[in-house]
Structure 1
């Protein structure tokens, strides 16, 4: 799909990290980008910087997402590109040692449910609501393509570490959405893909550089090549390529410098 000036895009989690880089890269292609986030201050600032719009959207809330798409479409037109980077989750082992009471304690089902809502269900929510809008729009190229949806998984989907039973399994579920959803939407000309980033230098990770420089150096050294954390701009570059290459469909991309995560 040729990315043309004035085409609309939606990026969730666009107020930081991978989402911010993706929004910036799509705007550089001439797209009108709507940022969905709960961080109003940075969302407004970054939207202004790229000539886009900001919409306070909580991906955990159905009506919030519905309203966000309605507002973005009213401002920019029907999105042709959607990139879902936002998520919410918790961390914990299936069983952990209870230091106070002794014996093992189980990770509460409610905490797993929170992660499933914040990763897997939110991914379906954003993708399906975007697809509904795309399906009712006019096809604009010779392939009859109406849009591209890219979800964010993680290398943890394949290399889930200790303490990542929620995150790893739900990100694997995101990958599991891709092919059946792409097939569901093939007659509407809507593509669905996912990206599995490895360790990237997002603001969360960059905070470690000062707090624990030894751990920071170890993380960089753990990447086979190049021996550094990924740059958000490298993630965003792949996002642009996926959106612009109509033959990329139903695929899950690892973007990780060849890293394979150890158990811990």
Structure 2
């Protein structure tokens, strides 16, 4: 799929991998709508790339429906969706104060897993109604999991469960949407240099980076964005998960 001129949605586009992806797709000629709960951040990224910025709570059906409809009115229905919105709080199942609050677990599932499916279902519906391209393809959806889906660490029960759900969703969604010519792929990043990691003390950053077999550094948000580009452009990539992690396998803690 040639990205130039296509309409694209990027959730979590106010920072990190989402912002890098929004910038990259815009440079490639896409009409990008940036979605994020952070009103100021989404406005700043949208202004930078000449795109549309919308405040959106991905876990809310009404908020997502409004955002997708507004984006379609401005740019036409999206042929590209990149789901980057997510949270990664750390909490043990049983801690010093007793069991993890159920609402804490539910919030992570709501944003990371239900939020991913929420935008996927809405974007896929719009894609299915578009005229097919020459190859029969109508759209591409790229979701974001994590290596925690495979090697969740201590304190990551909610996060690992949510990202494991995104991994499991991938092949099912790809098969479900194949008749519409819509591909679904997932990227599972390892240690990426987003604000969450880069705000840690330097000695902690250095220690974490040293655990990556090669290259011994954090991944860059731009590397995620370039992988999104390749997925969109390579029609045979469908129904699978690509680890972007420098061969890291996370230790228990």
One fold, TM greater than 0.5?
yes
SS of structure 1 residue aligned to 2:150: helix
Are the aligned partners of 1:123 and 1:174 in contact in 2 as well (CA < 8 Å)? yes
SS of structure 2 residue aligned to 1:200: coil
Which residue of structure 1 aligns with residue 237 of structure 2?
Answer: 248
Structure 1 outlier segments of 4+, above 4 Å: none
Which residue of structure 2 aligns with residue 162 of structure 1?
Answer: 154
Which residue of structure 1 aligns with residue 84 of structure 2?
Answer: 85
CA radius of gyration, larger in: 1
Which residue of structure 2 aligns with residue 124 of structure 1?
Answer: 117
Are the aligned partners of 1:153 and 1:197 in contact in 2 as well (CA < 8 Å)? yes
Give the paired residue count. Answer: 253
Q: CA RMSD in A?
A: 1.0
Are the aligned partners of 1:89 and 1:114 in contact in 2 as well (CA < 8 Å)? no
Deviation of 1:204 (Å): 1.9
Is 1:226 the counterpart of 2:238? The answer is no
Which residue of structure 2 aligns with residue 107 of structure 1?
Answer: 100
SS of structure 2 residue aligned to 1:55: strand
What CA deviation, in whole Å up to 9, does each residue of 1:128-150 have, x standing for no partner?
111011011111222x1000000
Is 1:196 the counterpart of 2:188? The answer is yes
Which residue of structure 1 aligns with residue 173 of structure 2?
Answer: 181
Is 1:72 the counterpart of 2:71? The answer is yes
Are the aligned partners of 1:92 and 1:163 in contact in 2 as well (CA < 8 Å)? yes
Are the aligned partners of 1:89 and 1:116 in contact in 2 as well (CA < 8 Å)? no
Deviation of 1:89 (Å): 5.0
Consecutive unaligned residues of structure 2, counting only runs of 5 or more, are none
Moved more, 40-49 or 249-258: 40-49
Moved more, 229-238 or 37-46: 37-46
What CA deviation, in whole Å up to 9, does each residue of 1:210-240 have, x standing for no partner?
xx22111101111111111001110101011
SS of structure 2 residue aligned to 1:35: strand
Distance 1:31 1:38 in 2: 22
Deviation of 1:108 (Å): 2.1
Q: What TM-score, normalized to structure 1?
A: 0.93
Deviation of 1:207 (Å): 1.1
Distance 1:206 1:242 in 2: 27
Are the aligned partners of 1:15 and 1:43 in contact in 2 as well (CA < 8 Å)? yes
SS of structure 2 residue aligned to 1:159: coil
Consecutive unaligned residues of structure 1, counting only runs of 5 or more, are 99-104
Are the aligned partners of 1:37 and 1:55 in contact in 2 as well (CA < 8 Å)? yes
Distance 1:48 1:213 in 2: 32
Moved more, 105-114 or 157-166: 105-114
